[in-house]
Amino acid sequence: MEDVQIDSVTLDKITDIFNKEREIDRSTGRKFNVFNIADIERKEVKMCLVLRNLLDPNGSHQQGSFFLESFCRTVLNLGSEELTNDELRKARVKNEYSIHKSKRRIDIVIITPSRFIPIEVKIKAKDEERQCFDYYEESLSQNDKNAVVFYLTPDGSPPSEVSLAELSEDSKNITDKKGSGKIRCISFRDDISQFLSDCIADRKINSVPPVREVLVQLLDTVRAISGYDRSSELTEKIKEVIPKEINLKSLSEDKKNYFLNETMKKFLERENLPKSDPRIINEIENLHNWKYRLSNDIGKTSNGESISVSINVDVDEFNAYWGMTLKTCRNKRYDDKLMSIDPEVGDPEVKRIIDEKIGDDHGRENTWIFKEERFKILKPETIDFYRLLIPGELDALVDEAVDDLDRIFKKYLTLLSD
């Protein structure tokens, strides 16, 4: 493998970019986002609860119908001739509105004296059969002469034919918010982002700092739902300072090999295990994978196959991870499927043996137990890769991995005990 080096001037520029970013993070506290911490960006029900409270004239923000009026004008494109401000001030906003006929629940409904406006929110969930059709029918049944369903997704994608049912027979039924369709598509990326940005900039909201700061965090979360990643901008800045002659793929391989070799070396030193121990196996194929594999068995599957465990330091195309794996050998090949923690796939005896040995308080993923995963260190497209170019950062990752492995190794020894 070719020797890949980045000159000190370039490294200083990369370090400076990260330092400036960290200073902004520190001074603004922008990374402390309660919505992101609670993982609301992937939870439709929770996001709908937030939006409902924000739109409700009687919401805890105590700003009356301000947000609802702005939402209807900006996001839904409903003018005052369709929905007056006086009517909005009397509006009720409901979550999980029950449709008794079809036993469905509409995510958000805006109800006024003359309007019944369903909003279906899709972030990760799939469409259900006749879902949008049933919501439209419900709006008609509520005597809304201008019945319409708004379909909110990250990028404004239309609902499926399965959800539309008979409405899919006429393409004019599905439009964006500026159209006159019975189903109108709106997005977090364009519509909700613009709505929140306008609210944040409004003088009325600026006079209520706690509400404004919540909106700033909500906007950041909405951008994440839309696919925006601040780190991609940082990545582009760093790419600009790296000399064109640097082969990033080779540089990635260099960092990968360093991580694997240094982690295993320091781990063996920490546990006083000689590198010459025949149980140390270095596999270099599609993955670079160092394993400390014990020669003792910890039990047998119901099929009589011996169960062993391994300490692993692995790197695949995206991640560096380390931990302990379960293995069983069948016809000289490792049978991962048999060792799966999925009760419908794996051997139930495996779970019983592990739980008896170390209890059920450990994280497990497939055949992994006590798996740790920290950085995406291989792909030059990711910010984590460039962060590891800063002097000392890769060594810090190695030390972190070794500390974790030391803890895991103690559990590993517990498995060997009677």
pLDDT in tens, 186-225: 999 999 999 999 999 999 999 999 999 999 999 999 998 9
Inter-residue contact 118 to 109 (CB < 8 Å) = yes
User: Which of 45-49, 96-100, 359-363 has the largest mean confidence?
Assistant: 45-49
Mean pLDDT, residues 235-251 taken together: 88
Q: Which residue has the higher pLDDT, 80 or 339?
A: 80
**Distance of alpha carbon 342 from alpha carbon 317, whole angstroms:** 25
Q: Which residue has the higher pLDDT, 153 or 319?
A: 153
**Distance of alpha carbon 235 from alpha carbon 229, whole angstroms:** 10
The fraction of the chain above a pLDDT of 70, given in percent, is: 78
Q: Which residue has the higher pLDDT, 313 or 9?
A: 9
Is the pLDDT reported for residue 59 higher than 80? yes
What pairs with residue 149 in β-bridges?
183
Q: What integer pLDDT is reported at residue 160 of this predicted model?
A: 92
**Distance of alpha carbon 220 from alpha carbon 211, whole angstroms:** 14
Mean pLDDT, residues 310-324 taken together: 78
Q: What integer pLDDT is reported at residue 299 of this predicted model?
A: 66
Inter-residue contact 97 to 106 (CB < 8 Å) = yes
Q: What integer pLDDT is reported at residue 367 of this predicted model?
A: 55
Q: What integer pLDDT is reported at residue 81 of this predicted model?
A: 84
Q: What integer pLDDT is reported at residue 143 of this predicted model?
A: 85
276 vs 94, 172, 288, 310, 357, CA distance in Å? 67, 73, 19, 17, 29
* pTM beyond 0.75: no
Q: What integer pLDDT is reported at residue 50 of this predicted model?
A: 95
HEC letters along the chain = CCCCCCCHHHHHHHHHHHHHHHHHHHHHCCCCCHHHHCCHHHCHHHHHHHHHHHHCCCCCCCCCCHHHHHHHHHCCCCCCCCCCHHHHHCCEEEEEEEECCCCEEEEEEEECCCCEEEEEECCCCCCCCCHHHHHHHHHHHCCCCCCCEEEEECCCCCCCHHHHHHHHHCHHHEEECCCCCCEEEEEHHHHHHHHHHHHHHCHHHHCCHHHHHHHHHHHHHHHHHCCCCHHHHHHHHHHHHCCCCCCHHHHHHHHHHHHHHHHHHHHHHHCCCCCCCCCEEEEECCCEEEEEECCCCCEECCCCCEEEEEEEEEECCCCEEEEEEEEEEECCEECCCCCCCCCCCCCHHHHHHHHHHHCCCCCEECCEEEEEECCCCCCCCCHHHHHCCCCCHHHHHHHHHHHHHHHHHHHHHHHHCC
CA 246 to chain CA centroid, Å, is 31
What would the pLDDT profile of 61-92 be if each residue is shown by its tens digit?
999 999 999 999 999 999 988 888 899 999 99
Q: What integer pLDDT is reported at residue 276 of this predicted model?
A: 65
CA 23 to chain CA centroid, Å, is 25
Average pLDDT of the chain to the nearest whole number: 82
Q: What integer pLDDT is reported at residue 194 of this predicted model?
A: 96
Q: What integer pLDDT is reported at residue 330 of this predicted model?
A: 47
Inter-residue contact 416 to 298 (CB < 8 Å) = yes
**Distance of alpha carbon 404 from alpha carbon 274, whole angstroms:** 20
pLDDT-derived band of residue 329, with 50, 70 and 90 as boundaries?
A: low
What would the pLDDT profile of 272-307 be if each residue is shown by its tens digit?
877 666 555 554 433 445 555 544 566 666 666 666
Contacts of 395 (CB under 8 A, 6+ apart): 262
**Distance of alpha carbon 159 from alpha carbon 185, whole angstroms:** 8
